[in-house]
Amino acid sequence: MCHKTNGAGTTNNVKQEHALCKQNNQSSSSVILAILPPIQHSIVDKEPAHHDINDLKRLPTSSEVVEELKQIGSIAGPMICLGLLLYGRMVTSMFFLGRLGELELAGGSLAVGLANITCYSVLSGLALGMEPICGQAFGAKRWSLMGLALQRTILVLLCFCLPIGFLWLNMHRILVWCGQDTSLSAMASTYLLYSLPDLIAQAILNPLRIYLRTQTITSPLTICTFFALILHLVINYVLVDVFGMGIKGVALAASWTDFNLVFFILIYLWFFGMHKKTWEGWSAECLKDWKPLLYLAVPSCLSVCLEWWWYELMIVFSSFLVDGKATVAAMGILIQTTSLVYIFPSSLSLAVSTRVGNELGANRPVKARFSMQVALACASILAVLAMTFTTTMRHVWGTIFTNDSHILHLVAVAMPIVGLCELGNCPQTAGCGVLRGSARPTTGANINLGSFYIVGLPVALVLGLKVGFVGLWCGLLAAQATCAIVMFCVLGKTDWNVQATRAKQLTGLSPSEIDQSLTTFQNGYQVETEELENLISIKVESTKGLP
């Protein structure tokens, strides 16, 4: 490296070092690159727009794997904690419902299932439409686009809340018309009526989580959810036990907790100033250009709902089998089990979606591909662990929920099949994250539609009628296996250069814009190099005659 020395021999040192740089055939820009601050290095070190085909085919090195594991773990770890806390919130609500009585528990469970189908799956799926926009905008350093995406998504979700709210207001009539028990319908509709405020909270909370996660800001979500869960216990106790509000209190407590969570997150962001870079305040721009968001949001919603609704359908189908009450109870226990296990691959899916989106937005398709490979490897390990857990715990797990011997037998028989399902579920869930991060939700929706409804549903119905309860889970096994195989084929054939170009278009960059900015900076370095060489020459001239 060329540098200046003081004392005797200054002239010779400067001449020797200047000659050494040229002798080694180093470009002027590389000399400047070694001297200028690191923040400028990151601009010049950006990968080119089109990457060597060998780079896009090679496996990551051990150091690259370790680095990617750190990146994914820094996102997935807090997301796992967040998922467990949210699971604890659900268990708390069910606990207080169970203390109220059998009718309240049944009505509340029915209401929660209806809310999942008609609201929570829809809103969470629609919110995922902003994930590739924010993830790639963050990688491309288009900060203002992230704030606009958040505003537009909140408005979109609030618009969808209107028909959902109207549906909930008329749920009692709908359930009675469908032949549901009158008292059970009344209890479920009461729960939904007092859950109406939660629509607004969810319309804000879902986009807010994605907005933060795509910036790799995960600690506020976990910390705020922890304190909200503590208050959730207190609020349930006060409303249910102190004020005696019954099922109304449980529903209000859930809504209140979600509003608390929104409030805590906003206060946290404001206090630490985490919003300043990406949030420029509400703008009239959020009222237009909804098409790119909806183009991603609708298929994302379909992808989530198609898989989510399949489990709800299995509960309905199980009620038509012999000894319907026992099979429904066993199905409920197993779905709760899969929900708990799902926290881990879903957190990995969220992490890889963020990583792939960030890397594509930063025009680094090679690293985006490495993120996919590392995530799929981690998902395979999770799948083996999940299968081991469900197989070894099959005779014990059911006793946590019930003492009924028939239900315990059904759970024990089906648990190994649930474990086999996880062998496909974990990798395909991670694969869905890759598709979301690369803005391909339509592909994910098509895979879920074909796997769960064209393959899995017929298998479940046929085997359910012939084999019984276990046959329904064999249908899920067929669906998950198909989904995983197709997902691996799609991801294996992905052209990552094309995905990087699509990311530029999604974030509003022209295909040549990054290359032009790179050339500009390189030209700038050449100018600065010439200036440095002139300074060296001046210094050499000024030191002539010195001893």
- Same domain membership, residue 137 and residue 18: no
Q: Is residue 507 part of a domain?
A: no
pLDDT digit string, tens, across residues 465-502? 888 889 999 999 999 999 999 999 999 999 999 998 98
Distance (Å, rounded) from C-alpha 372 to C-alpha 65? 11
Local confidence band at 103 (pLDDT 50, 70, 90 cut-offs): confident
Q: Tell whether 21 and 166 lie within a shared domain.
A: no
pLDDT at 326 over 90: no
Do both 433 and 538 map to the same domain? no
Residue 313 within a domain: yes
Any domain includes 54: no
Average pLDDT over every residue of 493-513: 78
447 shares its domain with 537: no
Residue 509 inside a domain? The answer is no
pLDDT at 488: 94
Task: State the average pLDDT over residues 362-390.
Answer: 94
Spatial separation of the C-alpha atoms in residues 13 and 2, rounded to whole Å: 9
3-state helix, strand, coil in the chain (%, to 5): 80, 0, 20
Same domain membership, residue 536 and residue 451:
no
Do 529 and 486 belong to one domain?
no
Indicate the average pLDDT of the chain: 82
Mean pLDDT confidence for 53-57: 66
Give CB contacts under 8 A, 24+ apart, made by 471-474.
472/314, 472/317, 472/318, 472/331, 473/334, 473/414, 473/417, 473/418, 473/421, 474/417
Q: Does position 169 have pLDDT exceeding 70, yes or no?
A: yes
Which token pair is 421?
């399902």
Number of structural domains in the chain: 2
List the domain range (segments joined by +) for residue 43.
11-49+523-542
**40 and 154, same domain (yes or no):** no
pTM for this model (two decimals): 0.78
Q: Residue 6 domain-assigned?
A: no
- Residues 308, 318: Cα–Cα separation, whole Å: 16
Residue type, 211: Y
Q: What angle do CA 456, 462, 467 make, to 5 degrees?
A: 110
Residue with tokens 């490897």: 377
Same domain, 202 and 240: yes
For residue 547, being part of any structural domain is answered with no
- How confident is residue 399, by pLDDT bands cut at 50, 70 and 90? confident
Q: Does pLDDT of 260 surpass 70?
A: yes
Q: Is residue 57 assigned to a domain?
A: no
| Nearest by Cα to 161 from 131, 133, 194, 122 | 122
Of 72-76, 329-333, 386-390, 395-399, where does mean pLDDT reach its minimum? 329-333
402 SS3 class? coil
530 and 428 share one domain: no
- Residue 2 inside a domain? The answer is no
- Is it the case that residue 51 has pLDDT exceeding 70? no
Higher-confidence position of 133 and 52: 133
pLDDT exceeds 60 at position 82: yes
pLDDT of residue 312: 80
Rg, the chain, Cα only: 28
Query: Both 256 and 398 in a single domain?
Result: yes
Q: Are residues 223 and 104 in the same domain?
A: yes
**pLDDT exceeds cutoff 90 at 23:** no
Residue 55: what pLDDT?
Answer: 67
| Together in a domain, 424 and 328 | yes
